[in-house]
Amino acid sequence: MKYMTKTSAVVGLLLAATLPLSAMAASGPALPQHWELDLAHTRIGFAVEHLGYSTTMGRFKQAEGAVHYDIKKPNETTMRFAVDTASIDTGWEARDEHLRNKDFFNSEKYPTMTFVSTDVTFINPQQAKVTGDFTLLGKTKPLTLDVTLRKIAESPMTKEPVIGFRATGTIDRSAYGMTTFAKMITNEVPIQIDGELTYIKMH
């Protein structure tokens, strides 16, 4: 995980391609337990309201993550993700440069924001509540994500197992000290991550 080591470092409906999850776990070959984020098929997005006039959509283009997930022991799942704050993209470079400075993400001083799970509770085989420590601008606070596992199956292209997921939550940016334009743009920022996890080959 090059990026995580360089900079210091979420995740529905689980639709097995041909078998229900329980049948896959019972009769199929052992599935990998260690997974990493496939950035080529992942979007880390957010939305901010601007004075009630419009909604600005954005994303972060660079991130890394690792997940330990055992289909037979889902509540023992652990995960760690890191997002490059300088990779923010709202479609307008002048705004992005402002978001990178001290008024907002202060990317030079705080190059990453991170999420490390502390508790994972599956409501059913497809949906989970994932609580963890979220760190932004050097402050760490608990954050809960609603995670949907969309699909777990062998990729027809790579012939390797892939997990598809969606994770949603809300971040109160002011709680982390990001208070610029607090009365004009959203403090409660909804986030949505759609992506894929590929397994890590253990040597």
DSSP 59-122: EE--EEEEEE--TT-GGG-EEEEEEEGGGEE-S-HHHHHHHHSTTTT-TTT--EEEEEEEEEEE
Residues 170/187, Cβ–Cβ less than 8 Å: no
**pLDDT at position 30:** 60
Q: Phi first, then psi: what are they for 28, rounded to 5°?
A: -85, 175
| CATH 2.30.40.10 is the classification of domain 2-199 | no
Lowest mean pLDDT among 1-5, 46-50, 68-72, 80-84: 1-5
**Of 29-33, 79-83, 180-184, which range is least confident?**
29-33
Residue showing tokens 């403090």: 187
Q: What percent of the chain has pLDDT over 70?
A: 84
Q: What share of the chain has pLDDT > 90, as a percent? A: 80
pLDDT for 162: 96
Q: Do 112 and 85 touch, CB atoms closer than 8 A?
A: yes
- Whether 154 shows a pLDDT value over 50: the answer reads yes
Three-state SS letters, 5-38:
HHHCCCCCCCCCCCCCHHHHHHHCCCCCCEEEEE
Residue 90 has pLDDT above 90, yes or no: yes
Query: In the predicted model, is pLDDT for residue 55 greater than 80?
Result: yes
How far apart are the C-alpha atoms of 195 and 38, rounded to whole Å?
7
* pLDDT, average across residues 23-42: 73
Quote the CA–CA distance of 20 and 28 in Å, as a whole number.
11
Backbone torsions φ then ψ of 86, nearest 5 degrees: -70, -10
3-state secondary structure of 175: helix
**Predicted local confidence at residue 200, as pLDDT:** 83
- Of the listed ranges 30-34, 83-87, 122-126, 164-168, the one predicted with least confidence: 30-34
Residue 29: pLDDT over 80: no
